[in-house]
Amino acid sequence: MTQPRFQLYFWQTANCQKITIMLEELGYAYEITPINITVGEQLDPAFIQNVTVNNRVPVLVDREGPDGAPLTLFESGAILKYLARLSGKLAGETQRERALVDQWLMWQMAGLGPMSGQSFHFVHSAPAMGHSAQSLAYGQTRYRDEVERLYRVMERHLGDGRAYMAGEAFSIADIAIWPWMIDVVKPTDMSPFPHVEAWHRRVGARDSVKAGMAVRVPEAV
């Protein structure tokens, strides 16, 4: 049996779900290789030596990479851009559209993603590790506030009536942002963000998003 072209090192997390959504959107065949980050498989020396120096997921292998040689890529934003270039889809048609797609992709990669990740850590993970409420309070407030500021940015932007982050066309910017809007980190009161909520429903209704989010690894809880 022939192997699918793409292999995705994956755990059920927002950065990995960006890639399953993108692969589903493009209709590309892929196989999942689970890397259980809850037990530290990303730190396995064999994974670091043979797959990625970055000891994180997602990692995508294109078995038919440029010049026919396999290509192994980490960083979800770089993977999205690679797949967009390969397919000629989802990264804008004109220079203007491409610039705006990149702008919002970078906004997610440098802002919403890391800030939400830190908020998740201080609000969800660190309390379970036994840190005192007092020692966590500053970090919780700092990252919750920053995430809320980023939601206000999105609300102002989408409030102008555009359907998607970079304009009228769905793009990798939407794919990068959508999986990060998780309950643990989004503002508790979403009433100031009606356009963000509407965008979230619009994107979530796509078959590719439903399929990409439905990818499960056996051990994940």
Ligand X SMILES: N[C@@H](CCC(=O)N[C@@H](CS)C(=O)NCC(=O)O)C(=O)O
Is there binding between residue 179 and ligand X (CB under 6 A)? no
We find the least distance from the C-beta atom of residue 60 to ligand X, in angstroms, to be: 10
Is there binding between residue 81 and ligand X (CB under 6 A)? no
DSSP conformation letters of 135-186: HHHHHHHHHHHHHHHHHHHHHHHHTTS-SBTTBSS--HHHHHHGGG--TTTS
Q: Which stretch binds ligand X (CB under 6 A): 23-31, 54-62, 146-154, 186-194?
A: 54-62
Is there binding between residue 12 and ligand X (CB under 6 A)? no
Q: Are 173 and 105 in contact (CB under 8 A)?
A: yes
Q: Which stretch binds ligand X (CB under 6 A): 11-19, 137-145, 162-170, 202-210?
A: 11-19
Q: Which stretch binds ligand X (CB under 6 A): 9-17, 65-73, 120-128, 158-166?
A: 9-17
Is there binding between residue 20 and ligand X (CB under 6 A)? no
Among residues 8, 9, 10, 15, the one that binds ligand X under rule CB under 6 A: 15
Rank residues 127 and 167 by Cβ distance to ligand X and give the closer one: 127
Is there binding between residue 171 and ligand X (CB under 6 A)? no
Rank residues 76 and 118 by Cβ distance to ligand X and give the closer one: 76
Q: How many residues bind ligand X (CB under 6 A)?
A: 10
Q: Which stretch binds ligand X (CB under 6 A): 13-21, 124-132, 139-147, 205-213?
A: 13-21
Is there binding between residue 42 and ligand X (CB under 6 A)? yes
Is there binding between residue 150 and ligand X (CB under 6 A)? no
Is there binding between residue 56 and ligand X (CB under 6 A)? yes
DSSP conformation letters of the chain: -PPPSEEEEE-SSHHHHHHHHHHHHHT--EEEEE--TTTTGGG-HHHHHHT-TT--S-EEEETT-GGGS-EEEESHHHHHHHHHHHHT-SS-SSHHHHHHHHHHHHHIIIIIHHHHHHHHIIIIIHHHTT--HHHHHHHHHHHHHHHHHHHHHHHHHHTTS-SBTTBSS--HHHHHHGGG--TTTS-S--TT-HHHHHHHHHHHTSHHHHHHHH---TT--
Binding site for ligand X (CB under 6 A): 13-15, 37, 42, 56-58, 75-76
